[in-house]
Structure 1
């Protein structure tokens, strides 16, 4: 069958290349050699996502003000503080030997497409015309120097814990977060008890903000508490196919276009398909001819806040037995509509200074694995693209730095495995849970790396997987390694293990059904408490007691439960149990911890904790019932979770253009199932229940029968509003469905809708 074909003359194209685009917008690249393959990946990423990847680079390097004006000058300064500034030779050497050449080729491909838009301006995405800006050319090191697009942790928790201890005493921190395993905070000696200014965390947040467009005052990013990811691999005896099945659905704060981009890269010796970030070469989640692979975040503690005593002239900080000079760098900053500025960036031996209080002569600095060679996000994935088996995959993980992550892998031979890829500081005399003095008493002593972390190979259960939950085995020396004590709510993993520990054998279709499962074990545990409360149930209580704990779009009980839990129960518990005012210091409560306080009827409820707990649950439930009645009307049979909980892909420029243009840029809304406590994780903002985080891309791989694999990427593969693939997958995603992830040449040819042939210009 003949399909539309376009030939493009490309400057600097190393060899021959072709891009077949299937009917779902997935590009399948065929190149004469690996260098040409990665060149074409960069060219194609710019073809589909130029506005997005150009913004990614400018945000990461602190170059926003040149395009968007003085409102972005502070954000640029913050971003430059968070960049990698170390030795680039050491940085390149930390990855697979091919990483440098592949990245150079990828960047050359991006630049070739930018050059093409200069010759043919009609190829520029409309956002450049809206803003009156132009795409910039890249350097290979730009990809590695941009660190903050994949967050590490736990600066926010350190600051909150310190401020709680200063105001209320260390014992009050038990209302802030729960620790796994059980742990008593090691309060650092020598810490001056003072409130840490809000400016410290604000500077890191605006430098790492994922959705960087805001034409007024920069805003803080959506909190990461609702983020999470699921993945698992099933052994052949656990599937209906007799082959392994691997499932992957990474969750992040939603962006428009989607954070993920699916692509297929083929050259002699290389054949890999899956998803990654469009501004980064290679693929992070996917498969090659021999193995399938995926990752989720393993929430290790990879950063620390240091507090310094400054000299009277504020140019030195106390270190060891004397004073050490603050290193200062001055850099030009281009600002649209204004003369160039000069900004000052200050650093200690540990890293950037986020804030200085001249009155108290204190400075606040960040130390992060970001400043260590080999921690550019996802570049470590380049090492396993050509792995032939699990052994080769795990060998590639040895150099993994960031983000700290759980990995699952399945091979055609039938084996499955789990491993952690990470680089976590060894803290010999503290636990990383609070800020420490920067005077030399608290120094890192090497790292816990991938080889030190747990691994599982072909377990008897027939599956491996994770959902960001606490997963360190009992024999892991957490007291020595102290890799992290603060974990994501375990509700998703509880549901995953509940299903996978059964006797069911899974197909690709039933694996997708589990990925999109909307049963909340958190809800069941709380409704069971409601059921046990004496007395005649009110209509609100009766509705939840008769509910199946499923957050489907048509669920009346789901609408009431989520309004109750998020907007009434959790906030009221946090206002009632801790000392007055503490709740205001906790930006986003630890939902698992709050749920446990309720389930256990914590003594802080009062002298009769169960009675007080029950009364609080009933009163907050009635308040939620009244709120949902106002939102959805008095007829509870007409209530539906999907009426409140809607997916909506909002373009960052849509607030600043005409309604007609905004309608072209935005996608949705459509009803969406699930929530943060379900495997189908679709977190939302409490103000209006709009979905803001969770799944945008997912994949189920039939290992060895590759063409039977499926995927989805919402709202579409393309970031260009003029493309038919800008919004075509949004309804598929909203209905929890998927499309084929084709791999064989015959299947791709059959599904192809367009062909692009690249020739040397």
Structure 2
């Protein structure tokens, strides 16, 4: 290894010397004499690279933002404290794999050493956000890591409320058009009487608990459903003669990145890949024997319970023929710039109380499986990092708690597979699709055994893929609220084509921008005529191949027409057919506004209500098509100008990373983005077409020839705008590029740019 810039730092918590080689992409490769020291070093490096980010995440998760940012954060602090883990800590730690507590303690010691290192020379070492906001980072406790739960992908209660309000206000037929339930069948309303007590705002506190910390005048990226793609291919189906595994999680694209890459080497520990900077270990990556990657498996692990309040006592609710008192926790919190504030937290036997209506004498609480012991999001990945084969890997997944995921895996001995994991509540006589009374009639009966969850080893097809789609028939019904099947259809067609799959083709598929459902919707409307002035435009859309490239004009027109004009028009006509007045409130119930993870299947289902195969409906659709397409073209002209040569999807659909604190000093140039919320190369946009969601981390692993693996993350490994690794990967990511994930010592040394020696603090 050529001489590298080298430095030495003393680190509290280390038992021996640790070598860290930082590669040209900013990944720390940690070589330690013990696993304990490897995790201390991981925490130390995470703090050096992401201190403001992880300090903010910790404060937010614990409900301690008002301490440093003032009283406007009190409501959010109260909401997040409601959803902290509040059970016994012995039971909590005992729920994870052996050694988890010691790993977390080592990692936290490293984080605290990083805090101390930064505070020793704050002007030079503290990220600039601390000076801009006027506070200092805090030290961590190991319990902080496991008590915080609101950073997980947990949002099922929203679907229950949306379904209940739609059924109540518009009827069950309208609910069939709002969202696709799988498996389908008649919707059973457990108790129609409680629906009248529900309002949109009953989940405001719940939403606030999951919302990002608001530090800037403009809102942060909203919390939204997050998913992923993954696939695994056997040696017989790959172009290398070895198994191949690919994974691209879909999350908010932010600065700094959600993901943090690291490589840990110590006796009994050899793992590389990505996790989150506030957690120890690796959740997506490989060890020397097994590769692993996950997607969200959206378990219905929440229920809304509605209670009758006592006629004269607001602190008691009805249950099992009697009255129970709320469990009330009174806490006080310091408030920057003011006096300490009192926070009142109320709980029922089922969970946190999120809404009380004293006039209607009703309260609402959320029951969540992820508030039970052993459910700290992603922490169970520590149990499978050292798996020697697929059997050990699957055994470790039995302890996985939250969020629900489907893991794909592959081993150097040629075996591949897929396994669902997570805690699925068992409900007897009801399905959890709608809110229920909290009077004792609707209780959970434990959880589905981990061994009964769907999974497969060495599928006969030679491949497996998951992209948040519905499970097959006959398997455990984990939920009825699945994601669109569009990505899964595209991936299954590709993998099932018989073509050899290799690293290059997998990288290309991870950015594939083919919208199979948009193309299907246009096909359904192919026989509908348009006015003469729109024939050329309509012909261009009908000839479109469905690829939403950055240079595509049809993609621009289809997306803006469909989202902003066609969908509301069609929803109004469907409501009229159902006998519902098509007012804005009714339309808002029926039309899902989120486009981050779009689902065009309801749009296709609406075309069975207003059907282009019927003559009368075809005339109506022609009228609507002309009006909405004309309106869409006018809006595009207002946005991009009259010169249609500049009308491209990438001109409107861009990722612009704005720093939440530093403004222009930390913000990054806009990046045109292909795809949408319906494509494998997912790039979900907000209502103004800002591409704020997508695969900010992509990984393809060549199992056995590990150094041939490729990854990319965005915008960079560091969260400090002064670092060369703050945004050095943004352009590569936006263009669909990648870099090698060096694993062997020789490969790491070939790409190393700096050497750091960490020594025990005397």
Q: Give the TM-score band, short-chain normalised.
A: over 0.9
Query: Match for residue 544 of structure 1?
Result: 541
Query: Does the CA contact (< 8 Å) of 2:168 and 2:196 recur in 1?
Result: yes
Cα distance between partner residues in 2 of 1:430 and 1:588: 29
Shift of 1:634: 3.3
Partner secondary structure for residue 117 of structure 1: helix
1:505, 1:303 → 2: CA distance?
41
Cα distance, 1:240 vs. partner? Answer: 1.2
In the aligned structure 1, how far is the partner of 2:738 from the partner of 2:228?
A: 18
Q: Which residue of 2 aligns with 1:632?
A: 640
Q: Distance in 2 between matches of 1:305 and 1:424?
A: 16
Aligned CA distance change for structure 1 residues 248 and 758 (closer, same or farther; 3 Å): same
Instruction: Tell me if the contact between 2:328 and 2:345 (Cα under 8 Å) persists in the aligned partners.
Output: yes
Residue among 118, 127, 130 paired with 1:128: 130
Do 1:544 and 1:561's aligned partners in 2 also have CA atoms closer than 8 Å? Answer: yes
Give the secondary structure class of the aligned counterpart of 1:304: strand
Q: 1:392 aligns to what SS in structure 2?
A: helix
| Alignment correspondent of 2:188 | 186
Shift of 1:361: 1.6
C-alpha change, 1:415 and 1:617, in structure 2 (3 Å) is farther
Question: C-alpha deviations, 1:349-381, integer Å up to 9, x for none?
Answer: 111101111111211101001221111100111
In the TM superposition, residue 598 of structure 1 has moved relative to its aligned partner by 4.3
CA distance in 1, matches of 2:278, 2:355: 30
**How far does residue 332 in structure 1 lie from its aligned partner after superposition?**
1.1
Q: Do the aligned residues in 2 keep the contact of 1:490 with 1:592 (CA within 8 Å)?
A: no
Q: Deviations over 1:497-516 (max 9, x none)?
A: 11111021022111101111
Counterpart Cα distance in 1 of 2:599 and 2:126: 44
- 1:512 matched to which residue of 2? 507
Partner SS state of residue 440, structure 2: coil
Which residue of 1 is the match for residue 686 of structure 2? 685
Aligned to 1:491: 486
Q: Is the alpha carbon distance of 1:280 and 1:679 closer, same or farther for their aligned partners in structure 2, counting shifts above 3 Å?
A: same
Contact 2:571 2:606 in 1 (8 A): no
Q: Equivalent residues in 2 for 1:460-499 (5 A)?
A: 460-470=460-470, 472-476=471-475, 478=477, 483-499=478-494
1:414-493 equivalences under 5 Å are 414-470=414-470, 472-476=471-475, 478=477, 483-493=478-488
Please give the TM-score of this superposition, normalised by the length of structure 1: 0.95
Which stretch of the first structure deviates more once superposed, 128-137 or 1-10?
1-10
CA distance in 2, matches of 1:360, 1:274: 52
Report SS of the residue matched to 1:676.
coil
Q: Could you tell me how far apart the structure 1 residues matched to 2:52 and 2:613 are?
A: 52
Instruction: Tell me if 1:641 matches 2:649.
Output: yes
Taking structure 1 as reference, are residues 197 and 69 closer, same or farther at Cα in structure 2, changes over 3 Å only?
A: same
Change (3 A) 1:664 1:221: closer
Which residue in 2 is equivalent to 1:51? 52
Structure 1 CA distance, aligned partners of 2:617 and 2:192? Answer: 38
User: 2:593 aligned to 569, 588, 591, which one?
Assistant: 588
Which 5+ residue runs of structure 2 have no aligned equivalent? none
1:474-526 C-alpha deviation (Å, 9 max, x unpaired): 22254xxxx21111111111111111110210221111011111111012112
Deviation at 1:664, TM superposition (A): 2.5
**Rounded Cα–Cα distance in structure 1 between residues aligned with 2:352 and 2:476:** 31
Query: Following the alignment from structure 1 to structure 2, what is the Cα–Cα distance between the partners of residues 220 and 643?
Result: 23
Q: Is 1:158 aligned with 2:160? A: yes
Q: Secondary structure at the match of 1:250?
A: strand
Structure 1 stretch 630-639 or stretch 54-63: which is displaced more?
630-639
Q: Distance in 2 between matches of 1:327 and 1:66?
A: 25
Checking the alignment, whether the CA contact within 8 Å between 1:570 and 1:594 is kept in structure 2 is no
Q: Is the 8 A contact 2:96 2:399 kept in 1?
A: yes
Deviation per residue, 1:34-63 (Å, 9 max, x gap): 111111111111010000000111110000
SS in structure 1 at match of 2:526:
helix
Cα offset, 1:67, TM superposition: 1.1
1:533 aligns to 2:528 (yes or no): yes
Give secondary structure in 2 for the equivalent of 1:80.
helix
* Rounded Cα–Cα distance in structure 2 between residues aligned with 1:249 and 1:215: 29
The 3-state SS of whatever aligns with 2:424 is strand
SS in 2 for 1:7: strand
Deviates more, 1:263-272 or 1:453-462: 453-462
1:571 corresponding residue in structure 2: 568
Q: CA deviation at 1:573?
A: 2.4
In structure 1, the residue matched to 2:556 is 559
- Residue 144 (1) aligns with residue 146 (2): yes
**CA distance in 2: counterparts of 1:248 and 1:600, whole angstroms:** 36
SS of 2:137 mapped into structure 1:
coil
Partner of 1:9: 10
Q: Is the 8 A contact 2:711 2:741 kept in 1?
A: yes
Distance, in Å, in 2 between the alignment partners of 1:604 and 1:347 is 52
Secondary structure of the 1:577 match is helix
Task: Report the equivalent of 1:608.
Answer: 616
Does structure 2 retain, via aligned residues, the 8 Å contact 1:152–1:301? no
- Any idea what the Cα deviations from partners look like across 1:206-243, whole Å, max 9, x if unmatched? 1111x3123569x6963525x32100001111111100
* Counterpart for residue 657 of structure 1: none
TM (normalized to structure 2)? 0.95
* TM-aligned CA distance change 1:605 to 1:504, over 3 Å: closer
Partner of 1:658: none
Distance 1:407 1:520, change over 3 A: same
For residues 233-292 of structure 1, what are the alpha-carbon distances to aligned partners after superposition, in whole Å with 9 as ceiling and x for unaligned?
011111111001110000012232111111111111111001111101111100000011
Distance 1:474 1:304, change over 3 A: same
Distance in 1, matches of 2:435 and 2:220, equals 21
Provide the residue aligned with 2:120 in structure 1: 119
Note the alpha carbon deviations across 1:424-447, whole angstroms, 9 max, x for none.
111112211111111111110111
Total equivalences in the alignment = 745
Mapped pair 1:36 → 2:34? no
| Native 8 Å contact 2:517 2:601 kept in 1 | no
3-state SS of paired residue (1:531)? coil
Structure 1 residues 5 and 575 mapped into 2: Cα distance closer, same or farther (>3 Å)?
Answer: farther
Q: Deviations over 1:124-178 (max 9, x none)?
A: 1110010011111111111111101013232112112222233233333223211
Pairing of 1:192-341 with structure 2 (within 5 A): 192-209=194-211, 211-214=212-215, 222=222, 224-225=224-225, 227-311=226-310, 312-341=312-341
Correspondence 1:61-140 to 2 at 5 A: 61-121=62-122, 122-140=124-142
Q: Which moved more, 1:167-176 or 1:356-365?
A: 167-176
1:296 CA drift (Å): 0.4
Q: Is the 8 A contact 1:205 1:220 kept in 2?
A: no
Asked whether the equivalents of residues 577 and 605 of structure 1 are also in contact (C-alpha less than 8 Å), the reply is no
Deviations 1:691-739 (A, max 9, x none): 1111101100010101111111101011111100000000001101111
Question: Does 2:747 match 1:747?
Answer: yes
Secondary structure in structure 1 of the residue aligned to 2:677? coil
